[in-house]
Structure 1
Amino acid sequence: MGSEKQGFIWLSGLLFLNIFVLSTADVHYYEFSLQESPFTKLCSTKIILALNGSFPGPEIRVRRGDTVSVHVHNQANYAVSLDWEGVEDTIEGSNNTIQPGRNFTYNIELGDEIGTLRWHATSAWAAATVHGAFVILPVANEDYPFPAPTSDQTIILGEWFREELTEANQTIAPGSADAYTINGHPGETYGCSNDTTFEMQVDYQGLYLVRVINAVANETMLFDIEKHRLTIVGQNGTYTNRSFTSSLTLAPGQVIDVLLCPNQNVGRYYITARSSSGRHITNGILRYTTTTTSF
């Protein structure tokens, strides 16, 4: 009898939570415009497919249980479709290819997904530049199952090719990229003085939820922040048991959410991303904006 009562209480609580999520859910509307845009990296300019003129593409940021409507205008010369990786429910029309000059609307109803997912073009050559983060926050007034962060930062590990990728590049061979990027920045390791470097500014003893996405095709990526420990709290749109590490290993397409507590001497520290094959390495900067406190 006792176990039956406990089961009833658990089911009642779960039902209440689901009703609460549904009652607080919102609908979010996004407009994506796919165009062929010039970008300069590694001291040369080429044309890439880009959404809303950005590389990586725009971030979607909603709350658990929300509905997302993404209207895509294909103003490029190539047919594309988008994949909403990690969304549990089937998205009607998600297999449709959007022809040049046509539009399509993806309607996404979120369920229990929480944390960070990613979206990307379905074909490998287009996904090299057409991808972005899908951030799903807790419902308003819902607690995190870990210490609440004071801020968050999305970090997308990408790749860059000097040649222009087209439909002829149906596959991307491992290690064929000319550079890796952090949020679209190649960093200072490739010998081009015009290249930009990603910088994340932090406060001493703040608490940051860092969302790390491996958007590199067919390459396992290694990620670390110099002299800083990371606490893993989520992967691929779900919370996980907390674990501690000094570096991350991300398979292609993998997403890992970590907590970062900056507790070193004020200064600059390297954020490093490299492939497991060791072919290339790129870096960013973690910069402290406040000094340590003496007692």
Structure 2
Amino acid sequence: MGSEKQGFIWLSGLLFLNIFVLSTADVHYYEFSLQESPFTKLCSTKIILTLNGSFPGPEIRVRRGDTVFVNVHNQGNHAVSLKWEGVKGSIDGSNELIQPGRNFTYKIELKDEIGTLRWHATSAWAAATVHGAFVILPVATEDYPFPAPTSDQTIILGEWFREELTEANQTITPGSADAYTINGHPGETYGCSNDTTFEMQVDYEGLYLVGVINAVANETMVFDIENHRLTIVGQNGTYTNRSFTNSLTLAPGQVIDVLLLPNQNVGHYYITARSSSGTHITNGILRYTTTTTSF
């Protein structure tokens, strides 16, 4: 009898939570444009397929239970479709190609997804440059199941190819990339003085929620921040029990949400991403903007 009562209470609470989320849900509209854009990395320039002219693509940022309309205009030269990883409901048209000169509107109805997800082009050659973050925050009146962060940051681990990527490259083979990137920046390790380096600025003892996405097609990536421990709080669109680690190992397509507490001496520390096969390594910088003084 006791277990039946507990089950009834749990179901009642879940029903109330779903009704509460639906009553506070918002509707968001995004306009995406697939287009060919010139980018210079590794001391050479090439044309890549982008969304809204950026690499990585634009971030979608909503709250749990919201509905999202994404209107995609294909101004590129090839038919492309987008995939919304981690979204639990079905999305009409997600398997249909958007032909050049046409557009399609995706309707995404979120349920209990929370944290960081990702979107990307379905074909391997297009996904190398057409991808981005899908950040789902708690409802405005809802608490995090961990200490509330003072700020958040998305980090996307990507790859860069010197060669032109077209429909002929339907598969991206492991180790074939010429560089890895952090939010589109190759960093300091590839010998080109014009390459840029990702930088994340933090305040001493601020608390940062960081969503780390492995957008590298066929490589497991290892991610760490020099002298800083990470607290894992979520994976692939759901919050999890907290665990502590010095580095993250992310399978292709995996997303991990972590808490970062900057509590080291003022200065800068390297953010490092490398493939588990050891093919390439890239870095960024974690830079303190403020600190405290002990007496």
Distance in 1 between the 2:2 and 2:139 partners? 32
For residue 293 of structure 1, report the CA deviation from its aligned partner: 2.8
For residue 249 of structure 1, report the CA deviation from its aligned partner: 0.1
1:109-151: CA deviation from partner (whole Å, max 9, x where unpaired): 0011000100000000000000000000001110111111000
For residue 291 of structure 1, report the CA deviation from its aligned partner: 1.8
For residue 292 of structure 1, report the CA deviation from its aligned partner: 2.5
Distance in 1 between the 2:257 and 2:271 partners? 16
Q: Map residues 5-154 of structure 1 onto 2, 5 A cutoff.
A: 5-154=5-154
Q: Which runs of 5+ in 1 are unaligned?
A: none
For residue 11 of structure 1, report the CA deviation from its aligned partner: 1.4
SS at match of 2:89: coil
Distance in 2 between the 1:107 and 1:157 partners? 27
Distance in 1 between the 2:43 and 2:243 partners? 40
SS at match of 2:83: strand
How many residue pairs get aligned? The number is 295
Q: Is 1:221 paired with 2:218?
A: no
1:219-277: CA deviation from partner (whole Å, max 9, x where unpaired): 00000000000000000000111000000000000000000000100001000000001
For residue 56 of structure 1, report the CA deviation from its aligned partner: 0.1
SS at match of 1:154: strand
Distance in 1 between the 2:213 and 2:195 partners? 21
CA RMSD of aligned residues (A): 0.7
Distance in 1 between the 2:137 and 2:235 partners? 14
Distance in 2 between the 1:5 and 1:167 partners? 58
Distance in 2 between the 1:287 and 1:155 partners? 15
Runs of 4+ in 1 over 6 A off after TM superposition: none
1:24-65: CA deviation from partner (whole Å, max 9, x where unpaired): 000000000000000000110000000000000000000000
Distance in 1 between the 2:291 and 2:65 partners? 40
Distance in 2 between the 1:129 and 1:191 partners? 22
Distance in 1 between the 2:272 and 2:156 partners? 12
Distance in 1 between the 2:204 and 2:108 partners? 38
1:141-166: CA deviation from partner (whole Å, max 9, x where unpaired): 10111111000000000000011100
Distance in 1 between the 2:7 and 2:216 partners? 44
Distance in 1 between the 2:3 and 2:171 partners? 54
> What residue number does 1:258 align with?
258
For residue 6 of structure 1, report the CA deviation from its aligned partner: 2.2
For residue 8 of structure 1, report the CA deviation from its aligned partner: 1.8
For residue 179 of structure 1, report the CA deviation from its aligned partner: 0.3
For residue 93 of structure 1, report the CA deviation from its aligned partner: 1.0
For residue 294 of structure 1, report the CA deviation from its aligned partner: 1.4
Distance in 2 between the 1:17 and 1:88 partners? 18
Distance in 1 between the 2:95 and 2:26 partners? 25
For residue 7 of structure 1, report the CA deviation from its aligned partner: 2.0
Q: Percent identity?
A: 92
SS at match of 2:54: coil
For residue 191 of structure 1, report the CA deviation from its aligned partner: 0.4
